[in-house]
Amino acid sequence: MTPTSQQLHDWDKHYVWHAFTQMACYEPLIIESAEGCELIDTEGRRLIDGVSSMWCNVHGHRHPTIDAAIQTQLGKVAHVTNLGCSNSTTIQLAKRLAELTPADLDHVFFCSDGASALEVAIKLAFQYWHQCKNPKPQKTSYIGFEDAYHGDTIGTISVGGVDRFNAVFQPLMFPVHRLPIPDRRVPNKETSCQHHLQMLEETLAKHHESIAAVVIEPLVLGAAGMIMQPAGYLRGVRDLTQKYDVLMIADEVAVGMGRTGTMFGCQQEDVVPDILCLGKGLSGGYLPMSAAIATTEIWNAYLGDFAAAKQLCHGHTFGGNPLSAAAAMATLDVFEQEDTLAQLPAKIQRIAQHLSRLAEHPHVGDARQYGMIAAVELVKNHETGEHFPWTERHGHQVCQYALQHGLWIRPLGDVIVIMPPLAVSMEQIDTMCEVIARAVDHVTLSKASRP
């Protein structure tokens, strides 16, 4: 017997423990189906998917090419372990990623999600220094950044820097060198960039002999509130890591797969990291899949005879899953077939036009964008930048208004995230941004929000 909407509502609240959610306050939104860039809930409401189902959907839901690839793979095999075994679809995906990524990022370790890929990268960097040509086993620490987010495993929260997520777990975390990151919102952007690169160089000059890697979200810090780095900062980080013989791990779980306008965010500043981590959009947002992609130099450090015991002792049951690999292969096919990247500049410009108007709102402190990633930051006072009390949840209120007007978005505190599928239409962009503008008006200009 098919459960009613009310039954699903009740069961969702009682049985399902939702991520980053205070379950005592949770009110269900239950999606029954989807089509293109729209979600359809159990009541039949159609909602524009304004955050790509948590930043992962690329070409829209139920894309016929991706659907067909998964169905074809189901007719072959659904899962094969990659421990001492392989699968033709997964092999072809690894080769294709090696060809697509820059320089000699040719060696792909498949995982199930972004945090898993970063956990692998942290281990890869640590073990590399123990068994490379010129071993430096004292390199056991990392540089991470304030407000960075790399996942929720013990390793990734250690290199991450979002205190509100991590504070309770401090006793479990290993120490890192943590630095602030420049913010494109500050008045003197160039000065800020150089200042922060100087801070990084001072840390590297003092501690490089013990630092295995710098872990960074290229261009945009996602969970921090879509904080955009100034031009040249990423390039500067790469130059400094090379100067001081420290590896660079690029967390492109959120910014990869076309989000910045190029396939990989690092390409915006001609940067080749030592390890590139992908996730979210790698399978088009269809199935769990991520990857840590390493250079040949790192790969070679793990080669040897059996007695040398140089292999990476790490693995995931579903790493390299054929169904996920089929979805990823089809996702890459669609990029080519629909010339997705070439369609983005016009969409990026359309979002920018809407943001320029929103930026003048008396309760918008900043409207920022990098490619198809955008954010609107709500403030109590536009002139001073004073924020609303966080307990008033203005961002949540804006998203609730949007939900009632055909748009699904999710805030980061009082930052409204705009990150639709790359396949979003111009009309959907207009609708999405217009709803957000009305929502900001409704919430911030109401009598309850006035001083």
The whole-angstrom separation of Cα 130 and Cα 120 is 16
Q: Does domain 67-337 have CATH number 3.40.640.10?
A: yes
CA dihedral 50, 54, 57, 62 (to 10 degrees): -80
Residue 149 in marked binding region: yes
- Are 314 and 292 in contact by the 8 Å Cβ rule? The answer is no
Residue 317 in marked binding region: yes
The whole-angstrom separation of Cα 129 and Cα 391 is 46
Q: 311: closest CA among 323, 320, 321, 301?
A: 301
- Are 432 and 415 in contact by the 8 Å Cβ rule? The answer is no
The whole-angstrom separation of Cα 267 and Cα 210 is 29
Q: From its phi and psi, is residue 102 left (phi > 0), alpha (psi between -120 and 50) or beta?
A: beta
Give strand pairing partners of 109: 292
The CATH number for 5-59+339-449, chosen from 3.90.1150.10, 3.30.930.10, 3.40.50.300, 3.40.50.720, is: 3.90.1150.10
The whole-angstrom separation of Cα 202 and Cα 207 is 9
Residue 357 in marked binding region: no
Residue 233 in marked binding region: no
Residue 316 in marked binding region: yes
Q: 295: closest CA among 100, 95, 102?
A: 102
Parse the chain into domains and list their residue ranges: 5-59+339-449, 67-337
Residue 251 in marked binding region: yes
Residue 163 in marked binding region: no
Residue 280 in marked binding region: yes
User: Could you give the C-alpha distances from 228 to 50, 139, 221, 245, 290, in angstroms and in order?
Assistant: 19, 30, 7, 26, 24
- Tens of pLDDT along the chain (451 residues) come to 899 999 999 999 999 999 999 999 999 999 999 999 999 999 999 999 999 999 999 999 999 999 999 999 999 999 999 999 999 999 999 999 999 999 999 999 999 999 999 999 999 999 999 999 999 999 999 999 999 999 999 999 999 999 888 899 999 999 999 999 888 666 666 678 999 999 999 999 999 999 999 999 999 999 999 999 999 999 999 999 999 999 999 999 999 999 999 999 999 999 999 999 999 999 999 999 999 999 999 999 999 999 999 999 999 999 999 999 999 999 999 999 999 999 999 999 999 999 999 999 999 999 999 999 999 999 999 989 899 999 999 999 999 999 999 999 999 999 999 999 999 999 999 999 999 999 999 999 874 444 4
The whole-angstrom separation of Cα 169 and Cα 86 is 37
Residue 315 in marked binding region: yes
